[in-house]
Chains A and B, each alone.
Chain A
Amino acid sequence: MTGTTETNEKKGLPPSRQAIDDKLRAIIADVLGLDRDHVETFDGDTGLFGHLPELDSMAVAGLLTEMEDRLDIIIDDEDVDGEMLETYGGLLAFAEMKVIEG
């Protein structure tokens, strides 16, 4: 998978889903101070906002800003809603959509 990612980046194609998934997990672990192994256990239905005590509005702001920096996307005010932050699957789908748009 890593090989595929490198090839894609060389061709200027958007990063693969796996690469976005990896980056997003790293961002969540960094921003929320969670253990990386714990974040690796997240699946699409894992609850985020309202489920993780670490994720308050200040942390959401940090999370979105880190996503912008590391995924090279722009997140507008109107993008941010409860659905996108509710589960890990929702946030990943949002990130993928933004990367493709960008």
Chain B
Amino acid sequence: MRAVTTWTAPLPDGTQREEAALVFDKGREHRLLVIPPLFDEANKFRRQLVEIMRRLDLSGIDSVLPDLPGTGDSLLPHAEVTLAGLRKAAQAACEDFRITHCFCVRTGAMYAPSSLPGWRYAPIAGRNSLRSLLRARTLAAQERGESETTADLEAQGKASGLVAGGWHIGPELFAALGAEKLPHTQQMVDIDHETVGGSPLWLRAEPDEDPEQADALAAVIAIGLLGT
């Protein structure tokens, strides 16, 4: 059954804070951690993630979608989010919810726990999403008749952080996303969007859900876990 619970998330400075988590939890054998992408794609994909979780629940698989500090409904300012902090929090969520497998989407692959088996859906490196955010900002500046270049913004982002696409990105997150490649993994299987088919939901202007795509993704996970 779907429920919202709380969990204790670690912060980079060693303190902790209480965050929410959406769970389909019946204490079953297979327990999946769901990791959304960063920035706007998280909002665009959240409804679809819940659709996938609902299908997995019907297949007998528990799943957990935790707010990591600074993401989802967390009250931690987004400017304080760091890549190391996201990784630490995702790892802590695994222990807290006794997770057995992980499913991450897009830039979620940048901070998914490396120790668990699972799936990465259409994974992209952080620098690709930064590039898109900076481009939106330079285009908006152009429309206002101002001039901003991607190179200037990159320097500013690394030095002091910046706001792009409405997201306050701190210098540490900016630098880490720009520098780090998509992690190599032996444990996780990549699912290309072509396998799922249809129009990618993270590209839409408004959040949406797609039952057929949710069926396809839930089927890949359920078959992997249950072998049926």
Contacts and interface: CB of A to CB of B under 8 A. Distances in A.
Contacts of B136: 57-58, 60-62
Contacts, number: 48
Nearest to A58: B136
B2 to A, nearest CB: 28
A61 B199 contact: no
Nearest to A74: B131
Nearest to A56: B205
A69 B200 contact: no
Interface string B142-158: 11000001110000000
A61 B129 CA distance: 10
A80 B128 contact: no
Interface in A59-102: 59-62, 64-66, 68-69, 77, 80
Taking each of B131, B149, B199, which has the highest tally of chain A beta carbons within 10 Å of its own beta carbon? Answer: B199
Interface stretch (A5-13, A15-23, A27-35, A40-48): A27-35
B139 A66 contact: no
B205 A59 contact: yes
Interface residues of A, number: 20
B138 A33 contact: no
Interface in B160-218: 165, 199-200, 203-206, 208
Nearest to A66: B203
A30 B200 contact: yes
Given A54-B205, A77-B149, A62 B132 contact: yes
Contacts of B128: 65, 69
A61 B135 contact: yes
Contacts of A68: 131
Contacts of B135: 60-61, 64-65
Contacts of A64: 135
B203 A62 contact: yes
Contacts of B150: 77
Given A30-B199, A33-B199, A57 B133 contact: no
B185 to A, nearest CB: 21
A80 B205 CA distance: 21
Given A61-B133, A77-B138, 15 more contacts: A29-B199, A33-B199, A33-B204, A57-B140, A57-B143, A61-B132, A61-B136, A61-B139, A62-B136, A62-B203, A65-B128, A65-B135, A77-B150, A77-B151, A80-B142
25 contacts: A30-B199, A30-B200, A30-B203, A33-B199, A33-B203, A54-B205, A57-B140, A57-B143, A58-B165, A60-B135, A60-B136, A61-B132, A61-B136, A61-B139, A61-B165, A62-B136, A62-B203, A65-B128, A65-B131, A65-B132, A65-B135, A77-B138, A77-B150, A77-B151, A80-B139
